[in-house]
C-alpha cells in the first residue's frame, strides 16, 4: 500500500511541471489546428451570413464549422415548441415588474 501511494504521489508531482509551464505555452500554439474550436473570424462570418440572408429562413442551427445543420427531432416537433413557449411565458410572468 505504501509503494502504491508513493508511486501516485510521485506521478502527481511529476505532472505539475508540464501542467504549469508546458501546457500554457503549447495549447495556444496548437489551437489553430483543432477544427472543433471556433474562431472570432468564423463567428463573424456566420453572423454576417445570418444578418445578410434575404431568405427569411428561421430556426437554422449551425455546427462548429459555421455550416447549417438540422436540429434534433425534439426541437423540430411543433408540440414541443409550443410547450417550450408556454413554459417560458409562464416563467417570465412570475418575474415581478
Q: Residue 91 — very low, low, confident or very high, per pLDDT cuts 50/70/90?
A: very high
Q: Specify whether 7 is located in the same domain as 50.
A: no
Q: Which contacts qualify for 66-71: CB closer than 8 Å, 24 or more apart?
A: 66/38, 66/42
Q: Specify whether 47 is located in the same domain as 90.
A: yes
Q: Dig out the grid coordinates for 57 from the structure.
A: 429562413
Domain residues for the domain of 8 are 1-34
For residues 52-80, average pLDDT:
83
The pLDDT, as a whole number, for residue 60 is 80
Q: Which residue has better confidence, 12 or 59?
A: 59
The pLDDT, as a whole number, for residue 62 is 80
In this structure, how many other beta carbons lie within 10 angstroms of the beta carbon of residue 49? 13
Please give the tally of structural domains in the chain. 2
The string of pLDDT tens digits covering residues 29-51 is 776 666 555 678 877 888 888 88
The pLDDT, as a whole number, for residue 42 is 78
Amino acid at each position: 500500500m505504501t509503494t502504491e501511494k508513493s508511486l501516485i504521489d510521485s506521478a502527481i508531482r511529476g505532472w505539475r511541471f508540464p501542467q504549469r509551464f508546458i501546457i500554457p505555452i503549447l495549447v495556444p500554439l496548437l489551437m489553430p489546428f483543432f477544427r472543433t474550436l471556433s474562431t472570432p473570424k468564423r463567428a463573424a462570418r456566420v453572423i454576417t451570413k445570418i444578418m445578410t440572408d434575404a431568405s427569411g429562413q428561421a430556426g437554422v442551427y449551425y455546427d462548429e464549422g459555421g455550416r447549417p445543420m438540422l436540429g434534433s427531432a425534439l426541437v423540430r416537433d411543433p408540440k414541443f415548441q409550443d410547450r417550450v413557449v408556454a413554459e417560458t411565458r409562464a416563467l417570465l410572468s412570475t418575474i415581478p415588474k
